[in-house]
Amino acid sequence: MAIGKISGQMLQSDLVRQGVDLAIDSTLVYFDVANRRVGVNTVNPNNAVSVNGNVNAQYYFGIIGTANQPLITNVGQLGNLTITGNLTVGNVSINGITANSISISGNIISTTGNIRANLGQLSGNTIVGNIITTPTLSVTGNANLGNLTFSNTTISTRFANGNINLTSTGTGIVQINGTNAFSMPVGNTAQQPSYVPVGSFRYNSDTDAPEFFNGTDWVSVTSSIVSQSITPNGSANAFVLTTSTTTSGVIVSLNGVVQSPTTAYSVSGNVITFTETPLTTDIIDVRFISTGQVFGLNFGGNVPTTSTSTGARGQVAYDSNFIYICVAQNTWIRANSQSTF
């Protein structure tokens, strides 16, 4: 640098020219003319501008020339940061510090892209398209993923009457592990839904047994063998059973002799029909080995003897004096039938 052009009081002892370089106050400002570099508080600038100390400015403009900036170790505190491309980071801490994690106390909203984390924790509400994590992701607070909402230990749908589907891939199965129990929906017979798919399970609080939907009716499932005694009236050959079953689902004995299915009797729903009309002195015993939903009417014959006789809600019976209605399992009421039109 030609210092001959500088004159007057500016030329002091602290303005030193060494070769082609120029230094102000030794290291305050150093001009490396040969390498076209400027140093502040350093005589060895290794970049276009090298500062040995902190830089304080109100605004920064421009771009970072290359994607890899290994010498940037800390950007301090940022006000608003907008990133239009992809952001690949190690640890991100927002309003908090969590080692080796992503800690976010506000909301994360990503409707078009993915959120990827090697091992992360999301605190707050999260609304995203896809979350890809390896190996795990911890979400504290509510997270809305697609149409599902995760809140503590509860998974629910974001929309009314929405289904939750668990679907395996390929030959995989949906498996629930553990050594305790799996709880199914519980409701009475009147609450049986008719819009569920075939094979749906629930527990019937009226019959105290699990049941499944076969596409038409709810069929009870029980591991116990229940018996029913039938007292013939000498004129009827069809009697209402306390539960629905099939011809091969019962063992029928007449006066202690086991009867042959189809030949001696047949069962349709909750009605058993004998080929020959039983006598009033016959003793009929029915053992249920496969049962189904209780429904239908019990016309005559097998009437309850007490208010707690065996029966299922919906059954109706009558004799010459009363009409009997089963209002709940093994619970009967009756009304006088002597009135005439």
**Model pLDDT, residue 236:** 92
* 44 φ/ψ angles, rounded to the nearest 5 degrees: -125, 65
- Overall average pLDDT of the 90-97 stretch: 56
Contact 149, 133 (CB under 8 A): no
Mean pLDDT lowest among 99-108, 134-143, 193-202: 99-108
- Residue 189 confidence (pLDDT) above 90: no
Residues 215-243 pLDDT 10s:
877 877 765 667 889 999 999 999 988 77
Residues 33-66 pLDDT 10s:
888 889 899 988 888 888 888 888 777 776 666 6
Contact 198, 191 (CB under 8 A): no
For CA atoms 251, 254, 259, 263, give the dihedral sign: negative
**Model pLDDT, residue 95:** 56
**Distance (Å, whole) CA 144 – CA 142:** 7
In degrees to the nearest 10, what's the CA dihedral of 326, 328, 329, 330? -50
Beta-carbon contacts of 335 under 8 Å, excluding residues fewer than 6 positions away, are 322, 323, 325
Band (pLDDT 50/70/90 cuts) for residue 294 is: very low
**Distance (Å, whole) CA 127 – CA 145:** 6
**Model pLDDT, residue 257:** 92
Which of 65, 45, 61 is closest to 53 using CA atoms? Answer: 45
**Distance (Å, whole) CA 312 – CA 200:** 22
| CB crowding 19-58: b at 16 or more within 10 Å, else e | eebbbeeeeeebbbeeeebbbeebeebeeeebeeeeeeee
In the chain, what are the domain boundaries?
A: 15-51, 93-157, 186-220, 226-336
- Name the 3-class secondary structure at 3: helix
Only one residue has tokens 């305790």, namely 180
**Model pLDDT, residue 296:** 41
Residues 111-138 pLDDT 10s:
556 666 555 565 566 665 666 665 666 6
Mean pLDDT of all residues in the chain?
76
Residues 241-250 pLDDT 10s:
877 777 877 8
- Residue 182 confidence (pLDDT) above 90: no
Mean pLDDT lowest among 10-24, 38-52, 77-91, 315-329: 10-24
**Model pLDDT, residue 297:** 45
**Distance (Å, whole) CA 34 – CA 15:** 18
Band (pLDDT 50/70/90 cuts) for residue 284 is: very high
In degrees to the nearest 10, what's the CA dihedral of 265, 268, 271, 275? -20
**Distance (Å, whole) CA 309 – CA 321:** 17
- Residue 89 confidence (pLDDT) above 70: no
Band (pLDDT 50/70/90 cuts) for residue 270 is: confident
Q: Across the beta sheet with 37-40, what order do the strands follow?
A: 15-18, 21-24, 29-32, 37-40, 49-51
Written as six digits, the tokens of 75 are 């950007």
Which of 314, 317, 297 is closest to 306 using CA atoms? Answer: 317
- Radius of gyration of the chain from Cα atoms? 43
**Model pLDDT, residue 90:** 61
Written as six digits, the tokens of 207 are 């019959």
Q: Which CA distances in Å does 39 have to 16, 44, 107?
A: 15, 7, 43
**Model pLDDT, residue 263:** 92
Beta-carbon contacts of 124 under 8 Å, excluding residues fewer than 6 positions away, are 104, 105, 106, 107, 108, 140, 141
**Distance (Å, whole) CA 207 – CA 188:** 8
